[in-house]
């Protein structure tokens, strides 16, 4: 096959590599097989639970559990041994990321210890995931205790349920790491991607049934909602791939005698949405948590107070304003953790690289900080709009079949699909150049 070194691989070239290249084919098959194993584990039931009563609890107002159920592919609502899924590992990763910015020893491991330091942080993440999984399993078992079948002692029920859930979560974490090492893509992200995709057939089936049994206004509402989702996906791709390219130049260098290498110009990319999907996840958890606690406490006044933060309340604008403000706030918080203008300016000065028209050092850090703040503001406003608009359209059209498949799910689906496609393209390009070297 004749290929051009100056372009990305075409769909035909990727398909050819999948068929002919044993390495890529094995990686894809390994990934698909392990993801299938994750799905099968969701349908292995945790014993001793009245599932009908628990479904009624979720329908009555377990909104946080319903939100988390999307990321487990229905594992929480079906009460499978993989019910917690990858959630403890994701939470542990977030905790370690926050601690790395706060604890100098962890920051030194990440920045100065190279691969060995990253392995230590990965090991710490596993330990935190185990501890967090035990905590979540015990809390979840206590939530499930009123729905235990008759004849099971409370202590025995809590212990056996917690052990089953935390064991399943650790197995899913191990599978995700195997996918990252021996498959294609980032394992934890692909597990979440699969779980979200698994909820699509049910939503599509319910939408088709609603369209067949509804009137013209219902069909029109479904069409409007689908168009909003498509426009949202296009906007997400644009923002996820968008970045500000700041020009930087390197100083002239002397090589050998009096020869000078000319100054080279390149670009420093700053992402428009540095926080990705994390601000929406944090904001959603904060919004839904008070209502879930109120339902667990069974206090009428607390339920009424927390009801103002529900999208289905009589004052949805309160929910929208609080949700939007939380997304903007968490966007700035997460951007401050992922992008450090002072470190970037120090590294640029150390390597003899500068931004044209800006003095190296503190002036460069101040300039990068101002640019990053403007980008974060634009990205956070977009995230807030993406999070609110689909819910507003659902309320206006009264089409609730896609409820739950909101901005967070769309951002994850688009982001993981883009990253995985780039990894496949990178592998195909590497095979292309290996073939040229052999020739």
Residue 410 has pLDDT above 60, yes or no: yes
Residue 130 has pLDDT above 70, yes or no: yes
Radius of gyration of the chain (CA): 25
Strands, DSSP E only, in 74-223? Answer: none
**Tally of domains in the chain:** 1
Confidence of residue 167 (pLDDT cuts 50, 70, 90): very high
Domain residue limits at 275:
208-404
Residue 318's pLDDT is 77
**Position 280 in a domain:** yes
Q: Could you write out the DSSP letters of every residue in 18-87?
A: HHH-HHHHHHHHHHHHHHHHHHHHHTSBPSSB-HHHHHHHHHHH-HHHHHHHHHTTTHHHHTBTTSSTTH
Q: Which residue has the higher pLDDT, 16 or 105?
A: 105
Q: Which residue has the higher pLDDT, 151 or 44?
A: 44
Range among 30-39, 234-243, 382-391 with highest mean pLDDT value: 30-39
CA distances, 301 to each of 62, 186, 294, 312, 316 (Å):
17, 45, 9, 18, 19
**Position 385 in a domain:** yes
**Position 293 in a domain:** yes
End-to-end CA distance of the chain: 13
**Position 93 in a domain:** no
What b/e sequence results for 369-401 when a residue is b if at least 16 CB atoms lie within 10 Å of its CB, and e otherwise? Answer: bebbeebbebbbebbbbbbbbbbebbeebebeb
CA separation for the pair 208, 219 (Å, rounded):
9
**Position 429 in a domain:** no
The predicted model scores a pTM of 0.75
Q: Token pair for residue 259?
A: 């020869």
Residue 192 has pLDDT above 80, yes or no: yes
CA distances, 342 to each of 178, 246, 346 (Å):
36, 16, 6
- CATH number of 248's domain: 1.10.3370.10
Over residues 282-325, the pLDDT tens digits come to 777 677 666 666 666 666 766 666 666 666 666 667 777 888 88
Over residues 63-81, the pLDDT tens digits come to 556 556 666 666 677 778 8
**Position 285 in a domain:** yes
Residue 236 has pLDDT above 50, yes or no: yes
Sheet-wide strand order for 265-271: 265-271, 243-250, 353-354
**Position 229 in a domain:** yes
Mean pLDDT value of segment 191-210: 78
**Position 143 in a domain:** no
């Amino acid at each position: 096959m004749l290929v051009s070194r100056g372009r990305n691989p075409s769909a035909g070239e990727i398909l050819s590599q999948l068929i002919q290249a044993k390495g890529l084919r094995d990686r894809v098959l390994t990934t698909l097989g392990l993801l299938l194993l994750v799905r099968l584990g969701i349908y292995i039931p945790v014993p001793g639970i009245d599932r009908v009563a628990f479904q009624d609890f979720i329908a009555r107002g377990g909104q946080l559990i319903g939100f988390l159920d999307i990321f487990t592919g229905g594992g929480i609502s079906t009460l499978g041994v993989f019910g917690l899924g990858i959630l403890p590992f994701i939470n542990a990763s977030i905790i370690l990321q926050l601690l790395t910015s706060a604890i100098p020893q962890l920051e030194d491991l990440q920045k100065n210890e190279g691969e060995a330091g990253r392995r230590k942080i990965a090991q710490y993440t596993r330990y935190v995931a185990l501890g967090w999984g035990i905590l979540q399993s015990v809390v979840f078992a206590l939530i499930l205790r009123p729905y235990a079948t008759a004849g099971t002692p409370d202590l025995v029920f809590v212990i056996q349920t917690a052990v089953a859930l935390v064991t399943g979560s650790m197995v899913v974490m191990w599978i995700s790491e195997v996918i990252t090492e021996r498959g294609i893509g980032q394992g934890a992200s692909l597990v979440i991607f699969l779980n979200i995709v698994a909820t699509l057939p049910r939503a599509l089936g319910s939408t088709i049934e609603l369209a067949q049994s509804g009137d013209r206004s219902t069909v029109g509402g479904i069409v409007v909602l689908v168009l909003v989702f498509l426009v949202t996906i296009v906007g997400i791709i644009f923002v996820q791939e968008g970045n500000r390219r700041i020009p930087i130049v390197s100083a002239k260098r002397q090589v050998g005698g009096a020869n000078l290498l000319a100054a080279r110009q390149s670009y420093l990319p700053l992402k428009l949405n540095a926080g990705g999907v994390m601000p929406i996840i944090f904001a959603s958890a904060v919004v839904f948590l008070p209502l879930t606690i109120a339902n667990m406490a069974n206090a009428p006044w607390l339920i009424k107070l927390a009801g103002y933060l529900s999208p289905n309340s009589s004052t949805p604008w309160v929910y929208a304003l609080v949700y939007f403000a939380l997304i903007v706030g968490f966007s700035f918080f997460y951007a401050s953790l992922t992008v450090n203008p002072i470190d970037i300016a120090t590294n640029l000065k150390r390597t003899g690289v500068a931004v044209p028209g800006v003095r190296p050092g503190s002036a460069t850090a101040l300039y990068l900080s101002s640019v990053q703040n403007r980008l974060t503001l634009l990205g956070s406003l977009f995230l807030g709009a993406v999070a609110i608009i689909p819910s507003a359209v659902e309320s206006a059209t009264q089409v609730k079949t896609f409820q739950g498949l909101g901005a967070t799910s769309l951002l994850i689906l688009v982001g993981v699909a883009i990253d995985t496609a780039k990894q496949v393209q990178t592998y195909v390009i590497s095979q292309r150049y290996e073939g040229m070297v052999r020739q």
